[in-house]
Chain A
Amino acid sequence: MGAAAPTPAVRLSSITKHYGPITACQDVDLALIPGEIHGVLGENGAGKSTLMKILIGLVQPDGGTIELAGAETVIHDPQTAADLGIGMVHQHLSLVESLTVWENVLLGDHRRFDRRAARDEVMATAEHYGLVLEPDWRVSDLSAGLRQRVELIKCLRRDPKILILDEPTSVLTPAESEQLFATLRTAVAAEQRAVALVSHKLAEVLHATDVVTIMRQGRVVERTTTRTATATSLARAMVGREVSLRSSAAAFGAIDVVDAVAAVAVDSEHREEVLRVDGATLSRRGVLLLDGLSIHVHAGEIVGVAGVEGNGQRELGDVLASLVALDNGTVTVAGTPVKTGRAGAMARAGVAIIPEDRHDSGCVLDMTVADNLLIDRIGRVSRFGFIRRSAQRTRAKQMMSEFDVVGAGPDSTFGSLSGGNQQRVVLARELSNNPKVLVAAQPTRGLDVGAIEYMSGRIREAAAGGIGVLLISTELEEILDLSHRIVVLASGRVIGELNRVDATSERLGLLLGGIANTVESGGTSDDAS
């Protein structure tokens, strides 16, 4: 590895990409060497995803060159990239749920279409890397971890010279992540592939890579070998200043930092119970999504709901947003039972929501910021059923300044805001409703450090102000950072509960790992039921 100037499998030189006034990448150089895992580290918005999209042809650069094995190349589209031996495991997997494993593995390939050969090949590839996978499983029945396995095999089967992994651990349990990195190691060491591991988590970059390139605001700010790097040095390079705040440490997955902090216990048991979910059961198309889930939240308390993605978090959020009706079970807000699935009932009862995907159910992208801020209370700025635009604008401006929404006026379209500002608009709207409960689902996903600190601070403040907070997150560090009490969710029910004082990342990891084991041995959780 220390040999003199090994030929890179791919060399990106001076790559530049602008999105209108925003610079996503500026003069970025990156070289991936065969047999090496190259960490690409940066906050959300640092330009690492754009860079990778350029490498697999999803985005065309404005300037710069790409050399593959020494020859300059233009990558028009993902197909070209695949032909050139570049494969990518996407953060949000590129699988089609209604198809089987082998069909998914074959997707995008264009060799001869032979069912039997394809299935054999899937089996062989899986075996080669020591992964358990049945070619005839339908992807919609698989857990997130197994889905990623499919994605990995889809990639590796094509024998890529260059393999890109984009935030691969975001859907995995700690145990699954460990296994992934082991597999990756084999693929790299034995088969001389060049691997780029894109991540915003210091811990996993330190753990799994050979060299690191750190990006900030579209530029490469540091290159180093992993051996010589420390968590602090990487964090400083990533953010551009000393990192001291807990929340940002948590955001980078620096678990040791979080663990070290003495948790504040809140004497919440004597306070009013503001939210109670009892025996919530929900099934769709014969699949049990919530299985007798029970959770309660007291005023002033932050309850973290930990769990691997796809274990009922989304459904819990949907129930508390009045989007679905429970088959069985009750929801009680501040002592009053609330009918599930009735439009707006939860909001009226005092449940505020920061939804997991704000584009899906939180906001309307092509309406204005002012409209979105007052979307549920438009009646308050109306007279005789007519909206008073000036009153609406005034109120909106007030809320925007209160929650530091910058970079746009009340009349700009919501979709033109940055992710962080969109999230602030949602927060502003939900908190200015005087809620009793705040449900925050993945509140910091996809945000940069500044926005993460802001969100975390606001959530703590809300709790301090007497609001009961239900924090649903798949990021252990975020849960550990914010919660007073932690419940662990698996297959739609609570399988464990810990006080923050008793909770360490290890214990939580073990609880979650238990889930991973059941999933593995049972094939799929859904098949079992």
Chain B
Amino acid sequence: MTRPDPQRLRRTMALVGLYVLSVVIALTLAAVLIAITGGPWQKVLKALLDGSLLKPGRWGDTLAGATPLLVVALGAIIATRAGLVNIGQEGQLTVGAAAAAVVCTSFSGPFALVAGLVAGVVGGAVWAALAALLKFGRKVPEVITTLLLVFVASQGTGYLLTRTFLLLDPDPNKPNRSQTSAQLGTSTRIGRIHLFGNEIPWTVVGALVLAIVVSVVLHRTVWGFRLTVLGRNARTAQRIGVPVVIAGATALALSGGVAGLAGAVMLTSGSANFRLTPGFSNNVGWEGLLVALVARNRPLMCIPVAFVFGALRTGAGFLASTGVERSIVDVVRALLVLAMLVPPAILALWERRTSPPPAPVSTDEPIVSVVTA
């Protein structure tokens, strides 16, 4: 086991090589794209670096931006672990933020802050539970329902922001009369750490702890074990006493709850100046999901990936000076995700072509498994 296995070493080398190659290709494609649209790619790179790390106070912002991404990614992992495809984090996050906004604009004090975060979890969980209901009640694939619910969530939240008795800021002097909620009072805002001229919300620490907790729960506890069995073989799970519907629905709701928590965290740490605004989620849900994909559903791997994606977000803010549209960052991010997905797949393909089907010795086993109802 501990001896270096030459075959394994070669495999690792090939994988690393492929990763480097595909990332280079992705970045080159991005550079070409910038170039043919008339922009200077070197300037774009510099702006991204300045905006995310180098200029004063920026890496703190990057950390703050990476936090909800990490939280969303952790939620996504929980659903994936149970074999469910929750891709509606954007909506669950929005509902979570709205729920938190209701609580935090109605009450004040530290308890209100906690209650707000809890409300965020509940909001996101309820939203994902709707998808669970359709999945387990009517067998509508959760891939579709979670997506459709994103749209309903963003428009529904938009509606809340058009009525003062709901969430619209009643203050007649509110800034530019836009449809935003009232600003959270200082007592319901997350505190900040001041470090080398950077302001970092405490939630950064919370998110790191959450990553460790999720990692431990999924890999080391009985609950995580049973969830894993459910995700890999639902019939075996049912046989050994994991109730497929209840456990699945719980996992999906929990996954949404964590996304909702991310929304509450964004609101209370001031991502939109401590107000709920239309379009508040700002793609954090989508990007957090991508973080989980790139990290291959490993909670701790999400930490560095979330940081990189957070850097892309904060860096994008500095692009205006270069004259390149900031949506290039979306393109670059998606290209990077594809670049991270392809190498292991290529390697697996090679291995399938050169070596046996997975279970050796079972050469006489049927290649057709009997279809089950």
Contact = CB atoms under 8 A, between A and B. Distances in A.
Real complex partners, A and B? yes
A21 B363 CA distance: 13
A104 interface: no
A353 B239 CA distance: 9
Interface in A351-366: 353, 355, 357, 359-366
B225 A357 contact: no
Given A378-B222, A386-B221, A360 B364 contact: no
Interface in B176-201: none
Nearest to A388: B220
Contacts of A20: 355-356, 360
Interface stretch (B138-146, B227-235, B256-264, B267-275): B227-235
Given A94-B368, A417-B359, A321 B226 contact: no
Contacts of B362: 418-419, 446
Contacts of A323: 235, 238-239
- Which of the listed residues B225, B236, B242 has the most CB atoms from chain A within 10 Å of its own CB? B236
Contacts of A48: 364
- Give the secondary structure class of A's interface: loop
Contacts of B369: 92, 357, 359-360
Contacts of B366: 91-92, 446
Contacts of B357: 19
Contacts of B228: 364, 367
A343 B363 contact: no
A392 B180 CA distance: 55
A50 interface: yes
Interface in A37-74: 44-50, 53, 58
A371 B224 CA distance: 12
Contacts, number: 142
A491 to B, nearest CB: 16
B236 A361 contact: yes
Interface string B335-373: 000000000000000000001111111111111111111
Given A347-B239, A416-B360, A379 B370 contact: no
A344 B242 contact: yes
A91 B356 CA distance: 21
A7 to B, nearest CB: 31
Size range of the chain A interface in the assembly: 35 or more
Contacts of B229: 364, 367, 375
B364 A446 contact: yes
A345 B241 CA distance: 7
A317 B122 CA distance: 40
B57 interface: no
Given A47-B363, A50-B364, A343 B238 contact: yes
B223 interface: yes
B232 A97 contact: no
Nearest to B246: A343
Given A45-B361, A49-B364, A367 B221 contact: no
Given A20-B356, A367-B229, A385 B361 contact: no
18 contacts: A22-B360, A22-B361, A44-B364, A50-B364, A92-B366, A343-B243, A343-B244, A344-B241, A344-B242, A347-B241, A361-B236, A361-B239, A364-B233, A365-B233, A371-B225, A385-B221, A415-B359, A446-B366
Given A365-B359, A416-B359, 8 more contacts: A321-B238, A343-B240, A344-B239, A347-B241, A361-B236, A378-B225, A419-B364, A419-B365
